[in-house]
Structure 1
Amino acid sequence: MEGVTLAMRKKIYLGSVLLIALLFIGGMYYSLPYYVSKPGMAKELGPIISVEDGYKDEGNFMLTTVRMGRANIYSYLEAKLSKYEELYPLERILYKKETQEEYNARQLHLMAGSKLNAIDVAYRKAGLPVQYKYKGIYVVQVVPGMPAEGKLQAGDRIFKVDGHQFPSSEKFIDYLSRKTAGEQVTFTYLRKNVTKTETLRLQPFKEDPKRVGIGISLVDDKEIIVNPKVKVKTDEIGGPSAGLMFTLEIYNQLTKEDLTKGYQIAGTGTIEVDGTVGPIGGIEQKIVAADKAGAEIFLAPNEKGVKNSNYRAAVKTARDIKTKMKIIPIDTFDDAVNYLEKLPKK
């Protein structure tokens, strides 16, 4: 009887271990309707941005990032317990009916737009001409139930419609808007460096039956032409929040005076083509990342001094983590340049 009891206990024990292991593994792969953001890294921009025959700096400009991912049970609990991790409901991150793949494509195209704006602002500030060459449009989202569903996908670059090329996305949209429901249109596009064609029948939009289309959200694909040439290698970094720091690094390589003055300068903020610096998400996590990387100065979007600005949240976080890093409010690219020009050399 004792032998049977021991055998039964062993089976129960092994079964319990197996069940716990399965629950643990299942918890890792079961996604919750939240995203988790946590401090990422502060990365030097010198190796990322290269202006042909550009000037060198003594210090560094650094972009800051957050790590963002879909929450599972464990990352959700960790975020609840951690002061500098944030939980965002799904609808705060994804557009309505947007897939994860479309979200990733949107972030990469936001980064591409940020790079274009940064180059434009930096070269114009340095007194150098800027030109654009329109190349087509990128698909960033496909609307369910519309003709493009299952045919086109996020990341496709459409460069011809019925054999025609257009000088802007506005002309592309105008061409389709002159057609009627039921008409066929042939799209020539590039997917993973392979040229493809797709003929689709136009259909009215449910929310606006007077308009017809194929059901895509799009952004311009255009090339900026400047001299000297500039390369910006961002790999898989997405989103527009590095715009200000890109602009500073490019401008610094274009001009003889070194704006870094030997300091480690981190920061964040979107950049508009008129030089306006806009707010971003995850400022608290970026302050933590910059402090860990040894940044001495952090440039934060001021949002014209509104109560809940990025700058105020950055100051509060800096105080909480007891960093010596200086937090500087920035509304425009000129604000950043003016501050750095007055900074004493280290």
Structure 2
Amino acid sequence: MNKRRIFTNRWIIVIVLTLFLMFYQLPFYISTPGMAKELAPIVNVEGGFREEGSFSLTTIRMGKATIIQYGLAKLNDYHVIYPEEQIRPEGETDDEYNHRQLHMMDSSKEQATVVAYTKANKDISIEYNGVYVLGIVEGMPAEQHLKVGDRLFAVDNLEMKSSEEFIKYISQMQANDIVTIRLERNGKPMEVDIPLGVFQNNVDDSEDDRVGLGIQLVTDRKVKVNPKVEIKTDEIGGPSAGLMFSLEIYNQLVEEDITKGYKIAGTGTISYEGVVGRIGGIKQKVVAADGSDVEIFFAPNEEGKTRTDKNGAPILTNYQEALEAAEDINSKMKIVPVDTFEEALAYLEQLEPKK
């Protein structure tokens, strides 16, 4: 009887321990290769042209680490572990994090639309409705004066249409300079004086510390296009699909099929001016694309400039990282470096159609 009880107790301990290892969450996030998702079913330009090949966005999977997942990630080069504070600011809830990711996706779709319609010489108009505070950096001067949701419409009596204008103006100033901000909060106009603070630069010691107010801004634009375009992204978040969105939209707007019959994927943010920007997790996205038999992969080139971290170690460009991953997994994909939408388009235009 005692032996049976001991045996039962041991099994209970094993079950409890197993459940603990499987479900207890550590203060880390783990990202893993996701998938290459074709954009034709997602992007729909009214009356748009069809394509023989395909454009795809690439994703990574991100989630809180359990003890077992943490251990397995240590054994896999393409499972990356991040401290929680690198992914989500302290105090940010899951809902706030997801909202931020979806907002960045919305901005990415809008930027891609502007780039594609402008290049295709299609009907497009942009109405500016102000610059809004999307986030505030803890410990920076804005924390004492501004709130998320404030609409900023002038700095030092200069009216601002976009966040880019605001950032450009502030970037010319020095630490402790004081700027006067005119804003609207809950429908009430206000004016505040704010000194500029110094951001602690923890990425590149070769640059001087930047100054600013410590705010994340978003421009409230209303973009109207003809023909209409609809982009269904559901729960996909983040800004990294911008380049691929712009190529898919453009391809549906013009008669020539720029895929030339190839399966094409890639990654990179896109600005309203068509500049392709750096993203995270590119090695995992190369793995995801390779698993979907992609033939051509666009990677942000960052003008080929290698930076250094605080210890003087080189930080590779996205293109260099993508090349390393492709070679490591013996991928047959062609990795193509791009700095702009125009460069990606020029590469595709010179391709011979696939036979």
Correspondence list, 1:197-216, <5 A: none
Deviations 1:192-236 (CA, angstroms, capped at 9, x unpaired): xxxxxxx9xx9999998xxxxxx9966344331011110011001
1:342 aligns with 350
| Distance in 1 separating the partners of 2:45 and 2:328 | 38
Check conservation: 2:123, 2:227, Cα contact below 8 A.
no
| Distance in 2 separating the partners of 1:66 and 1:342 | 30
| Distance in 2 separating the partners of 1:117 and 1:252 | 16
Kindly tell me: are residues 204 and 274 of structure 1, through their superposed partners in 2, closer, same or farther at Cα, counting changes over 3 Å?
closer
2:98 aligns with 104
| Distance in 1 separating the partners of 2:161 and 2:123 | 20
How much has 1:112 moved relative to structure 2? Answer: 0.7
| Distance in 1 separating the partners of 2:240 and 2:195 | 34
Deviations 1:263-285 (CA, angstroms, capped at 9, x unpaired): 00010000011111011111111
Amino acid at match of 2:267: T
Check conservation: 2:181, 2:193, Cα contact below 8 A.
no
Kindly tell me: are residues 88 and 206 of structure 1, through their superposed partners in 2, closer, same or farther at Cα, counting changes over 3 Å?
farther
Unaligned runs of 5+ in 2: 139-146, 152-159, 164-179, 198-213, 307-315
| Distance in 2 separating the partners of 1:204 and 1:8 | 77
Check conservation: 1:98, 1:141, Cα contact below 8 A.
no
| Distance in 2 separating the partners of 1:26 and 1:334 | 52
Check conservation: 1:37, 1:67, Cα contact below 8 A.
yes
Amino acid at match of 1:338: A
1:319 aligns with 327
Check conservation: 1:105, 1:140, Cα contact below 8 A.
no
2:16 aligns with one of 19, 22, 29:
22
| Distance in 2 separating the partners of 1:13 and 1:89 | 39
Deviations 1:265-319 (CA, angstroms, capped at 9, x unpaired): 0100000111110111111111111011110111111111133111111111111
How much has 1:128 moved relative to structure 2? Answer: 2.3
Amino acid at match of 1:107: Q
2:176 aligns with none
Amino acid at match of 2:119: K
Amino acid at match of 2:226: N
Please state whether the residue corresponding to 1:219 is helix, strand or coil.
strand
| Distance in 2 separating the partners of 1:203 and 1:331 | 39
2:259 aligns with 260
Amino acid at match of 2:351: L
2:296 aligns with 297
Kindly tell me: are residues 317 and 225 of structure 1, through their superposed partners in 2, closer, same or farther at Cα, counting changes over 3 Å?
same
Check conservation: 2:150, 2:185, Cα contact below 8 A.
no
| Distance in 1 separating the partners of 2:255 and 2:269 | 25
Deviations 1:100-142 (CA, angstroms, capped at 9, x unpaired): 3222111111111111110001111111242234568878558
2:36 aligns with one of 38, 42, 57:
42
1:162 aligns with none
Kindly tell me: are residues 186 and 318 of structure 1, through their superposed partners in 2, closer, same or farther at Cα, counting changes over 3 Å?
closer
Unaligned runs of 5+ in 1: 1-6, 145-152, 160-166, 171-175, 180-184, 189-198, 209-214
2:87 aligns with 93
Amino acid at match of 2:291: K
| Distance in 2 separating the partners of 1:73 and 1:203 | 48
TM-score normalised over the length of structure 1: 0.77
Deviations 1:34-55 (CA, angstroms, capped at 9, x unpaired): 1100000100000000111111
